[in-house]
Structure 1
Amino acid sequence: MPDLAKAPDEALAVDTHGATAAVISKLKDRFQDRCATSPALRQQHGHTTTWLENQPPDAVVFAESTQEVADVVRLCAEHKVPVIPFGAGSSLEGHLNAPFGGISIDLSRMNAVLEVNDQDLDCRVQAGVTRKQLNSYIRDTGLFFPIDPGADATVGGMAATRASGTNAVRYGTMKDAVLGLTVVTADGRIIKTGGRARKSSAGYDLTRLYVGSEGTLGVITELTLRLHGQPEAISGGICTFPDIAAACNAVITTIQMGLPVARIELLDAMQIRACNTYSKLDLAETPTLFLEFHGSEAGVREQSETFSEIAGEFGGGPFKWATAAEDRTRLWAARHDAYWAGKTLNPEADIMVTDVCVPISRLADCVAETAEDIRTEGFLAPIVGHVGDGNFHVQILVNLDDAEERRRTEAFVGRLAFRAIDMGGTCTGEHGVGQGKQKYMAHEHGEALDVMRSLKRALDPDNIMNPGKILPQS
């Protein structure tokens, strides 16, 4: 393996046995300028968001077809050199780092929409297609792809991390959106999983195995995705509440009543203050729900009125409708920019961002306890979340060069993870495990973690596929 102590800006680090150097030499012969080893480009393909150390790969290959990916993986497998898939680089838990060196396969140039079957509400795309690109391509068909994690991520990366986002409460997550995959396995074979049929009883569900595997079992190169019809009418708006508990309880009641809300997002008072500054809004600085309803004109009107009644029961309201499309767009743009807005609270600070997810009945308890923990620690840490499915995020502004401050922040993140797990939830609802959340996997999964390790060994016996992710060392 390559020297693990190499600096991020060091030139090519040659491993003891020369395997990585040999692989890179062959890749350069094959791919010419599409195989790059410059320090800056390598660092861009390591971890670049939030708090984890950047651990760059030894080289980056820009693949343009499934066969090229297979050729790279087969060569790496022959020499037992690590492979790290790369999409848009927006993951948050160190998924893209190369702690043992190796080759980053950048799939961003594999960005073709291969087919759209509007009658069947599905499409087939290459892994480098982004969600915005896909929705732009299919807009005229009357269909849309609803999974919306905020960042303009590639759909391959979204599948690998089992992403979700603001629409998940109605349309589900990537595990619900992916019908089939083309995957390059750890030995360089090209396999297809699933298909266009909406259900199947034939064999193991390999599609669901690879969705969420974070590149540790294979490289996703193509996806068959479920699409949805664009709603006839959209109603959206905001509703303020006296405190976080009241807002969460309104969400719980809304979901338990079966109200088909498309989006329901919580922003605490600190996050609203940040959004007002960054997005030039003038919202009241109090816990606020952003909502959106999809359906017929009559349906969304009825749903909005029902929610208004629910909010009133918890001291919320009034529910202010954003009837114009541009007003809704402005509100949701502000929500999606929450990460960058948080920086305005302390522009000199670093950011440590984390997420958890709990059963909806425990949402109010988990958020309230977390808010109290933040207050006790004295952190600048806005809360924002896709609370319709029990998922929320905390963005802690911290000086990572201050060892004590970093220790306190990491301890807080740990308490939050264990709190969520002990409430029957998970340490991550959508960010994934990567490197950052490995330490919580045993507490969440128990003996099932050994089954995951067995699957990893069976499908990747030489541990070359994105090693050092998801599974903590036993």
Structure 2
Amino acid sequence: MALQDALDALSALLGERLSRSKPDLEAHGRSESHFAMTPPDAVAWPETTREVQEIVRLCARHGVPVVGWGAGTSLEGHALAARGGVSVDFTRMNRVLDVRPEDMDVTVQPGLTRRALEEELRATGLFFPVDPGADASIGGMAATRASGTTTVRYGSMRDNVLALEVVLADGRVIRTGSRARKSAAGYDLTALMLGSEGTLGLITELTLRLHGRPEAVAAGVAAFPGIGGAVDCVIETIQMGLPMARIEFVDAASAAAFNAYAGTDLPERPHLLVELHGSETAVAEQAELFGALVAEHGGDAFEWSTREEERRHLWRMRHNGYYAIMAAHPGARALVTDICVPISRLAEAVEQTQADIAASGMPGPILGHVGDGNFHATLIVRPDHAGDLDTAKGLAHRMAERALRLGGTVTGEHGVGMGKTGYMAEEHGEGWAVMGAIKAALDPQGILNPGKLVPGN
């Protein structure tokens, strides 16, 4: 009865922008990974912060769960309605509100996607660097504290969000942070909200740090005879302080999938894909130095280019890596997982993970943002192999345990969601209970994205 009362009130508020149709519910009940369909009871499409505030107030009054929805690209079930309720879809809140080139910042709504923001900024000579690959929403990227291919140089969302507007569980609207580049005024509520996965509030506005477009950009690729040489090359590159903008690893299976999907002709061996930013002279010098490191570690000649169409083709291929891998396994699903370790333990982590996957007999290409110690495995769950999901979960579990043993984290960028709550106590100790206490203080009814991230949620 409480749910129906809430939906009746929401229907009066939103009209046709509240849906209970089966296609809409199913579209908001699936993810890109292995989780079962978990549809909400209704989907709401707000257009203003005031409407988000009213949605949350009505749901709080009736004890109905509220789950934020951006582009649906998360991989740990973050946006699934684990306990039903209302999915708040931010796709209609997708505007750039203010660009301030002189301050190198921009204010946007949460439903704006990464690529749409890139187009809006193109004429300004500025860009927003966080690039997780998927065309994720900016709000979703903040909620999961996303990072990506450029993190090694420009940092993650943690480093590039200046301020937020957030609707709390009781309907209050708060602003965190400011447009100033630093502050010593009180608790850092912006940092608290980043990575909270919608469990503490719904983000309705973001102010982002922008960066100047570099004078010259070069991108290139190098093949290696084995995984060890490629990873050792990454480690030495980072330890030398060579300022890479991107340095990505793909294994032989990923290279084969790229060839089939994108029509490339990469040798079916491990590769590093890199990008360099700076002046024309600096980029050329860095490319030459990186090429020497590749040779020292047994790699083929480093082939690089400053031509924009060639660079775009390279990164389009990398960003479509998931789809290329899945296309190589028609009808299969995937358990996609990531870990992050200190750079000095990267070779050990990658080699042990690859050996574990090979011993399992399961396809599981490895690729990732190894410049910051983060890599991913796409574990293929085949429809005609009854034990594959259990095998994949076992591999993912051992990856997580391996990361913790090596001084790392169970997730460098995918987040916790429903998939990795079981490791939070081991990784954070009593800190996880503190997270639960913060959640209880800000959301005592537990209506915001229940079943995710924190104990007792």
Task: State the match for 1:404 in structure 2.
Answer: 387
Q: Retained in 1: the 8 A contact 2:331–2:383?
A: no
Distance in 2 (CA, whole Å) between partners of 1:237 and 1:151 is 21
1:311 is aligned to 2:311: no
Distance in 1 (CA, whole Å) between partners of 2:185 and 2:318 is 41
Distance in 1 (CA, whole Å) between partners of 2:54 and 2:153 is 40
Mapping for residues 144-223 of structure 1, pairs under 5 Å: 144-223=127-206
Task: State the match for 1:3 in structure 2.
Answer: none
Gaps of at least 5 residues in structure 2 are none
Counterpart of 2:169, as a letter, is A
CA shift at 1:402, angstroms? 4.8
1:60 is aligned to 2:24: no
Q: Retained in 2: the 8 A contact 1:148–1:164?
A: yes
Q: Retained in 2: the 8 A contact 1:345–1:380?
A: no
Q: Retained in 2: the 8 A contact 1:47–1:95?
A: no
Distance in 1 (CA, whole Å) between partners of 2:130 and 2:145 is 10
1:254 is aligned to 2:237: yes
Task: State the match for 1:7 in structure 2.
Answer: none
CA shift at 1:63, angstroms? 0.4
Work out which of the residue numbers 262, 268, 271 in structure 2 matches 1:279.
262
CA shift at 1:169, angstroms? 0.4
Task: State the match for 1:358 in structure 2.
Answer: 341
Task: State the match for 1:124 in structure 2.
Answer: 107
CA shift at 1:31, angstroms? 0.8
Counterpart of 2:251, as a letter, is D
Between 1:309-318 and 1:448-457, the stretch displaced more is 309-318
SS where residue 278 of structure 1 aligns?
A: helix
TM-score w.r.t. length of structure 2: 0.98
Between 1:393-402 and 1:212-221, the stretch displaced more is 393-402
Distance in 2 (CA, whole Å) between partners of 1:119 and 1:141 is 10
1:369 is aligned to 2:369: no
Distance in 1 (CA, whole Å) between partners of 2:194 and 2:386 is 36
Task: State the match for 1:24 in structure 2.
Answer: 7
Distance in 2 (CA, whole Å) between partners of 1:313 and 1:193 is 48
Distance in 2 (CA, whole Å) between partners of 1:401 and 1:357 is 32
Task: State the match for 2:423 in structure 1.
Answer: 440
Between 1:309-318 and 1:364-373, the stretch displaced more is 309-318
Q: Deviations over 1:227-259 (max 9, x none)?
A: 000010001100111111110110000001111
Task: State the match for 1:15 in structure 2.
Answer: none
Work out which of the residue numbers 383, 400, 403 in structure 2 matches 1:420.
403
Residue identity over aligned pairs, in percent, reads 54
Gaps of at least 5 residues in structure 1 are 1-17
CA shift at 1:404, angstroms? 2.2
Task: State the match for 2:453 in structure 1.
Answer: 470
Counterpart of 2:415, as a letter, is G
Distance in 2 (CA, whole Å) between partners of 1:50 and 1:206 is 31
Between 1:317-326 and 1:206-215, the stretch displaced more is 317-326
Distance in 2 (CA, whole Å) between partners of 1:415 and 1:372 is 12
CA shift at 1:334, angstroms? 0.5
CA shift at 1:399, angstroms? 2.6
TM-score w.r.t. length of structure 1: 0.95
Between 1:44-53 and 1:155-164, the stretch displaced more is 44-53
Task: State the match for 1:452 in structure 2.
Answer: 435
Counterpart of 1:54, as a letter, is M
Work out which of the residue numbers 109, 123, 142 in structure 1 matches 2:92.
109
Task: State the match for 1:225 in structure 2.
Answer: 208
Aligned pair in 2 of structure 1 residues 197, 81: CA closer, same or farther (>3 Å)?
Answer: same
Between 1:43-52 and 1:298-307, the stretch displaced more is 43-52
Work out which of the residue numbers 296, 300, 304 in structure 1 matches 2:283.
300
